[in-house]
Amino acid sequence: MMLSGIGIFVLLVGSLSQRRLQRTESKLKKTKPGLLGHEEKLAIKNKIEEIEKLTKEVYTLLGAD
């Protein structure tokens, strides 16, 4: 009798956790964007250009031109 109670409990917990996992996965799929938007791409490009400009300034200051 004890083993059947434990078995039922394990099945119940397993099914509940599986449902919760599926709900969480579906929420993540909905909120995860597939591609970067145009604004994000421009922001990344601008940051890269700023870093390159700073690198050139550092080389100029160090006299490694």
Ranges of the chain whose pLDDT falls below 50 = none
Q: How far apart are CA 10 and CA 38, in angstroms?
A: 49
Q: What is the pLDDT of residues 36-51, one digit of tens each?
A: 678 888 889 999 999 9
How far is it between the farthest Cα atoms of the chain? 84
**pLDDT score at 37:** 76
Q: How far apart are CA 29 and CA 35, in angstroms?
A: 13
Cα dihedral 33, 37, 39, 43 sign = positive
**pLDDT score at 27:** 79
